Amino acid sequence: MLDKFLFDEAMDDPENVKTMLDIILSKKTNLKHPPQTEKEQRTSTDNRQIRLDVYAMDEDDVIYEVEAQKENTHNLPKRSRLYQGIIDSKLLLPGGIPRTDRTFEIYGTQYR
């Protein structure tokens, strides 16, 4: 399932994303909006952008970010932190502290 086109097509279906999250998290999830594939986010026009493979939000406003990685590029911790920071910055109100317990990153890997 790590072919980019097939992964995006499968994850465009909300039922597939819901089923995947239910299995991985061992709990029932109810998506608030249809999942978005290849969602771009950046903090400003001058900063680096990220492209999220799958972005979904449930009814409790918990954000799920799903990434598929075909090979080990040895940058998963740094990339994960960058993605988490940009997602959290979008949730931050001026002068506030984001609730970081509302964001989950899920990485599917094929390499050993």
The domains of the chain, with CATH numbers, are 4-109 (3.40.1350)
Rounded distance between C-alpha atoms, residue 24 and residue 54, angstroms: 15
pTM, entire model: 0.73
The residues of the chain scoring below 50 in pLDDT are 111-112
Rounded distance between C-alpha atoms, residue 57 and residue 45, angstroms: 24
Q: 3-class SS at 29?
A: coil
In this prediction, residue 65 carries a pLDDT of 85
In this prediction, residue 45 carries a pLDDT of 66
In this prediction, residue 106 carries a pLDDT of 64
Q: What are phi and psi of 111, to 5 degrees?
A: -80, 165
Residue with tokens 């920071």: 85
In this prediction, residue 101 carries a pLDDT of 61
